Structure 1
Amino acid sequence: MTGKIKSLLLGALCALGGGGPAVLWADQAPVSCADFRFEETPFTACEIDLTRAQMRLFLRDGAGEIFGSFLNVADSLPENQVLAFAMNGGMYHPDRRPVGLYVEQGQEEMRIITSDGPGNFGLLPNGVFCLNAGKAAVIEARSFEAAPPVCEYATQSGPMLVIDGALHPAFLPDSTSRYIRNGVGVRMDGTSVVAVISDAPVTFHQFARVFRDHFAINNALFLDGNVSRFYAPQLGRADFGLPLGPILGAVVDAQTGLE
């Protein structure tokens, strides 16, 4: 059975219990996904329990070729694992190499960049999403550079959405810049990650408030906009489009992942 078929089977089995949960995380699975509305705008989110699911980054396959799609990642997994969630995991160059810091299985492919610059990435403060030893953190990039933690996986992007409970200072409530956006936040104990995509164009200000006000998350990081895509087989969702660079995903055991 290929990874793609296993992932679709996971979604089909989850769907047997009825439609999406009335409240987020009602099923308390290792990876729990739901559609919801915030200020009348549709969003989709998955919460990943790092004590029961392995969260990691994917860029290249065993032959060194960039995966580029969620289904390529799903098909690469061993028979006993399924891809339970994925989304694009940071900004990338035209050749799909990561723009900023990128670490996979402890190996650094791209260094950290802390200078300001054009575009969203350079809208400081930006940040790093770090995974290590079953815990996660979103860390402001210059703080990360000053005292680098150990990260088995890490991806840098920008801007930060929420910084110690405060919205990024450049975000304006009346901004007219609206895009589909995706990002990631970490709960206080570091063992639970919330990944969100907007299902309609939103401002940075509104997207950041989803993390702070809806999920009570104190540190969250913007990953990308416009090209943002989401993979949630629980919801029968597998977005597709142009090839991606880094992909952030969660893997669960094929036998126990439906708890």
Structure 2
Amino acid sequence: MKGGALSLNLSLNAATSAPAGLQWTLAYAPSDISSLTAVAGLALGTSKTLSCSSGTGSLTCLATGMNASTISSGVVAVVTATLSPTSGSNLDSIPISNVMGALPDGTSVSISGTGGTISVTQPNPTISTLLPANATAGAAAFTLTVNGTGFLNGVVVNWNGTSRTTTFGSATQLTAAITAADIATAGTAPVTVVNPGGGTSGASTFTINAANPVPAITSLTPATATAGTAAFNLTVTGTGFINGSVVKWNGS
């Protein structure tokens, strides 16, 4: 994945002409691959050493040693590619060029090389919590905090499948601007996170609660009482009452 590293085997098929020395150059896009490094593979044995030098977007390696010994078929180098955390590509080519070989007597030998392609996959981010996790229909715009894992710089929060202005905080926290229109109607809204270049989280549900109705009183029973009489139960009749409604008497 982006920002990670992977190892690649560079192999030699010596066929009938085993070389005593090898040289090659690997090229890469610095915008997608931060660096290439290489260490000797088993095919070099103990009589050969691998020396590499880095340039901008390239790594040139030379395998040399005791001229009388040859390099057998197999892995001549293990190449480590460190991927850029902001790689803009899902497929990165690493072509090989300037491949040269020499026989034990110093005679040059023709060697052809074939490069490869790295497939860069994106981690799927996850959402653990939304803050707030709910709002009342008709409320004002607000900032939604999304907590989770695997967020990359450039990540986008989707609300009901549509992107919202997103601010990257860290790999575990983002904020998104939610508009008043987003919560104008009671219901639910799925929230997802999409990393740049791919990788989408599962949906987390944001709840939009219906606004409380405005209560109205149509009658009081009894509607009057004589001063000094005993306590009594007042029945309030009207509309728009909900569970948890409170009757206030003289403001209290």
TM-score range relative to shorter protein: under 0.3
Q: Which has the higher strand share?
A: 2
Instruction: Compare relative contact order (CA 8 Å, sep 6+) and give the higher one, 1 or 2.
Output: 1
Q: Which has the higher helix share?
A: 1
